Structure formats: structure tokens, C-alpha cells
């Protein structure tokens, strides 16, 4: 496919005077072109931004690997309580011939919805896509039965997720009545730990937090609220660590008490913490097409095609780990290979003179001007990895004991190139990538495929709900709202169901 493009430009160069350029243009076959994704079933799959994909196919049945000659056009037709169904539609062109289409509806609901996909005025694939039932906005309170929700969303089973299975294997039966008090006693050290206890009962959410810096509980509040709008949550309770470092360390005390079950955004090889998708990727999922600038869909917009990228490794970030400073040394020694700078000094403030000056933040999209992206741990795992994998550059990832919920499914040299923890092989790995450009491209495209299968908004919802459903089955003590818990306001602007039961306790 790459070959085809280059023959094409070769022809164009040689015969430019006698051959019209368009003779060389490959035509899109609107019937063979493929359109798929959860956004085609907006009545079943409710997300903040609905999305689906288009991949252009030519007359010969080959998928395009570059931007097709004309633009696709998408419309959402239908009626809302205020007349015509209004929507916000956004086409994200990836450089491989495929396009992400995402949209949100402005009204609380639309009915008689039809999704129309056209190319050069012709309908594409099975367009128009007729949606049978009412389409509700994600802001509406419309919970579905949880099992049904998991089926509609094609969520993988617990057993099919390595990390979930592994994380839960130490917690087959959890008796919170027996451990609650000691758990809080063990971790309630206000200066270093921030921990919240959540109880979900009858679709209502309650919490109590411990520690000083509990502002991050807003992320879990919003997550539970959003999940509760789309699905009936099981009655359950859990503790979530709001800090960076995993808490439930292996060895020591835990050998006698058994590990305490604690959910965390970052896991580590030496802890029992149960990982959930990070607040970062969850927030960008919940705010997709909303107030976040960077999300897993928008980052796929290909502004820098592979061949235009600079063949250097790029890094920007704060000084949250010694290796990041070591990288600055390396970049100074090899300016032709690495462009790295620190954006903020905090942890090693007294070394700012040596490793500075600090540089202003640049847009994350600008990172992808460079062919190789360095993913180096910060305090814990660097939560940018999902976006780096989606962005169309080759990821060089530092080996690490820390991980997010999806790392166990990543395969070195398939989805990224590993680099040693002490960075001693960074230069060697950049040289390897420069000398193996085809391999590098394959890895980049496998990384994007990984993102498409594991890290899109639907998957982030799936992971939470699959985990919570399973978690609830493991609790053997009764789920009760404790007297000093605060009740959270479930936020929604409209409703297609009875409101949650008002009084409890």
C-alpha cells in the first residue's frame, strides 16, 4: 500500500506534463467503504461523545492508507423536543485512510434519528443508518440494567482481562465489616495519604474521605455519577486511593493481616492495589467534546504524517523523577537525536540551574512533530501513555514497576519499544528505530490498533462497570451507609426513568 503511493508520486513527477494528476488518483468505492462503531447505535450505547469510524476502500477493494481525495460528509437527522435534532459533529482525519466521526446531540433527546454518511454526494456503505429508538443525551438519567449495558457495549468478561483477574485474585471474599476499621487506621495518615470510602446503595452514592488532599475525590464522584446515569450500579463499597503511590504494599504487615483491598489509579509490582483507569483518561472520556482539550480521539488527528516527522526523540515534562534529569544530560550530548526539556522544577528545585532553564508547555499535538516519543515515569506511571500510543509516533517506554490498568496487555516491540529503567540504551534504541523505519511504522500502527481496541471512551466505561459488577459479588458483609458519610448529588439535566429512590437510611 505504501508502495502504491510512491509509484503514484513517481508517475506524477515523470509524466507531470503529459499525464493529468487525477489519472493517478484512486477512487473511493462508496459501497465497499466500511463504516463501523458504537456511535451507529446511539440508542443503545450512550456516551458523552458518540463515535464511529469510516475507512475508505477503493474500487479494487483495497483499504486506503492515506487521506482520500474528497471529504466525507456526516449528518445526524431527527426531531428533538425543540424541533430539528441539533448536533455537534466532528471529523477526525487519521492519516491511514480512516476517519473518526464523533458527535453529541444538543437536546435532551432526539427521535427518528438517521445517521447519514456521504462521499461526493453518494451514500456510503449502509447509509442512512436508521436508529430505532429514542436517542438520549448522556446528561440524562437513563440507567439500563447493568448486564444488558455490558452486552450492548461488548465489554470483555473479567476472565478475559489479565489485569482485572490478577488484581482481584487476592480478594475472593471481602468482609469489610471485619477490616474497615483497621484499614482506615492503617492508611489514615493525613500528611501523606488521601483515601476515600465510597458506598453505592440503591443507585445513590455516599462517601467519606480521609487525609488532607481529598480534592481529587471529585474525579471519582463524577465517574460514579456518569456511570449511574447509564447503568444501574450494584450495591457495593470500596476504598480509593487518591494519591500517586500505590498503598497496599506486599510483604511486612500484610503478611499477617492479609492485603487490604484498595483501588488505585496506578498499580505496582510490589503492591496489591486494584487498578482502575486513571482519573486523567476517565476525565477525558467523560468530557469528550466537552471541556478537555486532549482526549484519546482528538489526539489521533494526524497533523504530521510519518514522512514529515523529525527523526528525533521528544520529551517534555516536570522534574518528577531523577531519570528525567538524566535525559536532559543525554539530550545535551546528542542534540541530533533527542529534544528534551523540563517544563517545571519542583522535586529537584536546587538543580534547576544545571538542568534548566525550564521551558513553556507546548500543545501535546506538537509532540507528534517528532518520530519518537519518550515515556518516562513521573512520580509513578506517566499517565500520558494512552495519548502517546494514539498519536502516531513511535513510543519508547521506560521499563517500570508502575502500571495503569491496560499495561499488562501491551507487548514490547509490538506496541512500543522498551528502554531500560536507567535509560542506558536510549541512544541505541533511537538508532535502531532510525535503521528500521518499516518496523517502527508497524509498531505505530499496532499501537493505534491497541488504542482502538482498549482505550476508547467505551472501553473506559466498560472497565469500570465490569470491575464494579465483579467487585460487588466479592463483598460478603452487608453494604451499609455509615452514619458520617456524605451523600453525593447525582447530576443529570433530564431523565427518562424514575428518579433514584429519594430516601435511604
Ligand X SMILES: *[C@@H]1O[C@H](CO)[C@@H](O)[C@H](O)[C@H]1NC(C)=O
Applying CB under 6 A, the span of 90-98, 171-179, 434-442, 449-457 interacting with ligand X comes to: 171-179
Applying CB under 6 A, the span of 81-89, 170-178, 414-422, 427-435 interacting with ligand X comes to: 170-178
8 or 379: CB nearest ligand X:
8
Work out how close the CB of 92 gets to ligand X at its nearest, in angstroms, rounded to a whole number: 20
148 or 476: CB nearest ligand X:
476
| x-or-dash string of contact with ligand X, 6-45, rule CB under 6 A | ---------------------x------------------
Work out how close the CB of 21 gets to ligand X at its nearest, in angstroms, rounded to a whole number: 12
Q: Residues 165, 344, 477, 495: which binds ligand X (CB under 6 A)?
A: 477
Work out how close the CB of 4 gets to ligand X at its nearest, in angstroms, rounded to a whole number: 17
Residue pair 176/475 in contact by the 8 Å Cβ criterion = yes
Segment 364-393, which members bind ligand X (CB under 6 A)? Answer: 366, 369
Segment 120-159, which members bind ligand X (CB under 6 A)? Answer: 120
| x-or-dash string of contact with ligand X, 325-364, rule CB under 6 A | ----------x---x----------------------x--
Classify 366 as helix, strand or coil: helix
Applying CB under 6 A, the span of 136-144, 172-180, 184-192, 382-390 interacting with ligand X comes to: 172-180
Nearest-10 Cα torsion for 67, 70, 71, 72: -100
30 or 164: CB nearest ligand X:
30
Q: Using omega within 30 degrees of 0 as the cis cutoff, is the peptide bond preceding 357 cis?
A: yes
Intra-chain end-to-end CA distance of the chain, in Å:
64
Give the strand pairing for 494-495 and 140-141. Answer: parallel
94 or 334: CB nearest ligand X:
334
* Burial track 194-217 (b if 16+ CB lie within 10 A, e otherwise): bbbbbbbbebbbbbbbbbeebebb
Classify 202 as helix, strand or coil: coil
Residues 6+ apart with CB under 8 A from 348: 319, 322, 325, 355
Residue pair 462/104 in contact by the 8 Å Cβ criterion = no
CA–CA dist 229, 221 (Å, integer): 12
Question: Shortest Cβ contact with ligand X: which residue?
Answer: 178
20 or 487: CB nearest ligand X:
20
The helix (run of H) or strand (run of E) holding residue 102 is: strand 98-105
User: How many residues bind to ligand X according to rule CB under 6 A?
Assistant: 14
**Burial (0-12, 13-18, 19+ Cβ within 10 Å), 190:** exposed
Q: Which three cell numbers stand for residue 140?
A: 440524562
380 or 388: CB nearest ligand X:
388
**Phi/psi class of residue 127: alpha, beta or left (left: φ > 0; alpha: ψ in -120 to 50)?**
beta
Angle among Cα 464, 468, 474 to the nearest 5 degrees reads 150
Residue 505, interface with ligand X (CB under 6 A)?
no
130 or 359: CB nearest ligand X:
359
Segment 176-195, which members bind ligand X (CB under 6 A)? Answer: 177-178
CA–CA dist 247, 260 (Å, integer): 9
Alpha carbons within 13 A on the beta-carbon side of 177: 6
| x-or-dash string of contact with ligand X, 211-250, rule CB under 6 A | ----------------------------------------
According to DSSP H, which parts of 258-302 are helical?
Answer: 279-286
Q: Residues 10, 148, 411, 476: which binds ligand X (CB under 6 A)?
A: 476
Work out how close the CB of 22 gets to ligand X at its nearest, in angstroms, rounded to a whole number: 8
312 or 415: CB nearest ligand X:
312
Q: Residues 8, 43, 69, 91: which binds ligand X (CB under 6 A)?
A: 69
- Residue among 452, 455, 345, 443 nearest 397 (CA): 443
Residue pair 423/398 in contact by the 8 Å Cβ criterion = yes
Applying CB under 6 A, the span of 34-42, 53-61, 175-183, 399-407 interacting with ligand X comes to: 175-183
CA–CA dist 407, 162 (Å, integer): 10
339 or 445: CB nearest ligand X:
339
Contact residues toward ligand X (CB under 6 A) are 27, 69-70, 120, 175, 177-178, 335, 339, 362, 366, 369, 476-477
Amino acid at each position: 500500500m505504501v508502495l502504491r503511493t510512491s509509484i503514484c508520486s513517481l508517475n506524477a513527477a515523470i509524466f507531470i506534463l503529459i499525464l493529468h494528476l487525477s489519472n493517478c488518483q484512486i477512487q473511493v468505492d462508496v459501497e465497499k467503504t466500511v463504516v463501523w462503531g458504537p456511535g451507529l447505535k446511539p440508542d443503545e450505547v450512550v456516551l458523552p461523545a458518540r463515535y464511529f469510524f469510516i475507512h475508505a476502500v477503493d474500487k479494487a477493494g483495497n483499504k486506503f492508507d492515506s487521506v482520500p481525495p474528497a471529504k466525507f460528509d456526516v449528518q445526524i437527522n431527527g426531531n428533538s423536543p425543540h424541533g430539528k435534532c441539533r448536533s455537534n459533529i466532528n471529523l477526525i482525519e487519521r492519516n491511514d485512510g480512516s476517519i473518526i466521526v464523533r458527535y453529541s446531540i444538543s437536546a435532551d433527546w432526539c427521535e427518528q434519528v438517521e445517521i447519514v454518511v456521504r462521499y461526493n454526494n453518494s451514500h456510503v456503505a449502509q447509509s442512512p443508518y436508521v436508529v430505532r429508538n429514542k436517542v438520549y443525551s448522556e446528561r440524562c438519567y437513563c440507567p439500563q440494567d447493568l448486564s444488558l449495558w455490558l452486552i450492548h457495549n461488548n465489554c470483555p468478561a473479567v476472565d478475559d482481562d489479565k489485569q482485572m483477574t490478577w488484581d482481584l485474585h487476592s480478594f475472593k471474599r471481602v468482609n469489610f465489616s471485619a477490616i474497615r476499621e483497621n484499614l482506615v487506621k492503617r492508611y489514615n495518615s493525613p500528611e501523606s495519604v488521601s483515601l476515600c470510602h465510597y458506598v453505592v446503595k440503591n443507585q445513590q452514592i455516599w462517601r467519606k474521605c480521609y487525609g488532607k488532599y481529598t480534592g481529587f475525590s471529585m474525579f471519582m464522584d463524577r465517574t460514579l455519577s456518569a456511570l449511574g446515569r447509564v447503568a444501574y450500579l450494584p450495591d457495593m463499597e470500596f476504598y480509593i486511593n487518591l494519591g500517586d503511590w500505590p498503598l497496599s504494599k506486599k510483604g511486612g504487615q500484610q503478611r499477617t493481616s492479609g492485603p487490604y483491598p484498595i483501588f488505585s489509579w496506578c498499580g505496582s509490582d510490589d503492591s496489591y492495589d486494584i487498578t482502575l483507569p486513571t482519573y486523567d483518561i476517565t476525565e477525558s472520556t467523560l468530557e469528550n467534546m466537552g471541556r478537555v482539550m486532549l482526549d484519546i480521539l482528538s489526539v489521533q488527528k494526524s497533523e504530521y504524517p510519518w514522512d514529515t516527522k523529525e527523526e528525533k526523540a521528544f520529551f517534555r515534562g516536570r522534574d518528577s523523577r531523577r531519570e528525567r534529569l538524566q535525559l536532559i544530560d543525554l539530550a545535551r550530548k546528542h542534540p541530533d537525536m533527542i529534544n528534551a526539556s523540563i517544563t517545571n522544577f519542583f522535586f529537584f528545585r536546587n538543580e534547576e540551574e544545571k538542568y534548566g532553564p525550564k521551558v513553556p508547555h507546548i500543545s501535546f499535538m506538537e509532540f507528534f512533530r517528532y518520530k519518537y516519543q519518550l515515556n518516562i515515569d513521573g512520580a509513578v506511571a506517566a499517565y500520558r501513555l494512552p495519548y502517546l500510543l494514539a498519536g502516531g509516533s513511535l513510543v519508547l517506554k521506560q521499563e517500570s514497576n508502575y502500571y495503569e490498568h491496560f499495561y499488562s496487555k501491551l507487548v514490547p516491540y509490538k506496541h512500543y519499544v522498551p528502554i531500560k529503567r536507567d535509560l542506558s540504551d536510549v541512544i541505541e534504541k533511537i538508532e535502531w528505530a532510525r535503521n528500521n523505519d518499516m518496523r517502527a511504522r508497524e509498531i505505530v500502527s499496532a499501537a493505534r490498533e491497541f488504542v482502538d481496541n482498549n482505550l476508547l471512551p467505551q472501553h473506559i466505561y466498560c472497565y469500570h462497570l465490569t470491575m464494579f459488577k465483579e467487585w460487588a459479588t466479592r463483598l460478603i458483609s452487608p453494604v451499609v451507609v455509615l452514619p458520617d458519610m456524605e451523600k453525593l448529588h447525582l447530576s443529570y439535566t433530564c431523565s427518562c426513568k424514575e428518579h433514584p429512590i429519594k430516601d435511604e437510611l
